[in-house]
């Protein structure tokens, strides 16, 4: 029986920098941080979503050869990967708070279809949309 998605992974170029960003700036907490030789399984968790983890993974062995890993790192750095979405109660307030923490925004908050959204990037280049849901009438 299917139990649902547990971990979604992001490719990052520096797991320590990614960890600092997701914990210190976005407020996630470390779920798992274990090593097997050079390989590191690192996941973080949003404080309000205990059943879901975000994996912060380096492209490379045992999954990729070096040429593939280089291609993936370059694609992430260019912002070519699909964005993730962070739901927030107040997009403008979250924008101001995160901008004050040094988060690199690619789009200021914009009203769109009854909601408000903004865009930002993590240190590796992964894109995020931060979306405030439309107000219910």
pLDDT at 55 over 70: yes
Tell me if 2 is assigned to some domain: no
Is residue 18 packed enough to be buried (19+ CB in 10 Å), middle (13-18) or exposed (0-12)? buried
pLDDT (0 to 100) of residue 4: 85
pLDDT digits (tens, 9 = 90+) for 58-90: 999 888 999 999 999 999 999 898 899 999 999
pLDDT (0 to 100) of residue 79: 87
Q: Kindly give, in sequence order, each residue whose CB lies less than 8 Å from that of residue 67, ignoring residues fewer than 6 positions away.
A: none
φ/ψ of residue 120, rounded to 5: -145, 170
pLDDT at 128 over 90: yes
Token representation of residue 111? 């009203």
| 137/85: higher pLDDT | 85
Tell me if 11 is assigned to some domain: yes
pLDDT at 137 over 70: no
Mean pLDDT, range 88-94, rounded to an integer: 96
Domain, as residue range, for 13:
7-132
Number of domains composing the chain? 1
Mean pLDDT, range 99-124, rounded to an integer: 95
SS (HEC) of 59-74 = CCCCCCCHHHHHHHHH
pLDDT digits (tens, 9 = 90+) for 37-51: 889 999 999 999 888
Q: Which CATH number is 63's domain given?
A: 3.10.180.10
Tell me if 1 is assigned to some domain: no
């Amino acid at each position: 029986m299917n139990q649902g998605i547990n971990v979604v992974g992001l490719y990052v170029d520096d797991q320590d920098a990614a960890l600092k960003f997701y914990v210190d700036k976005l407020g996630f907490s470390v779920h798992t941080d274990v090593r097997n030789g050079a390989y590191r399984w690192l996941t973080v968790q949003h404080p309000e979503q205990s059943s879901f983890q975000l994996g912060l993974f380096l492209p490379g062995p045992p999954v990729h050869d070096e040429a593939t890993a280089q291609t993936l790192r370059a694609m992430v750095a260019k912002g070519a990967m699909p964005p993730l979405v962070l739901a927030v109660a107040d997009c403008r307030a979250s924008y101001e708070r995160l901008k004050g923490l040094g988060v690199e925004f690619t789009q200021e908050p914009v009203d769109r279809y009854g909601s408000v959204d903004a865009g930002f990037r993590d240190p590796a280049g992964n894109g995020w949309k931060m979306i405030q849901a439309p107000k219910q009438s």
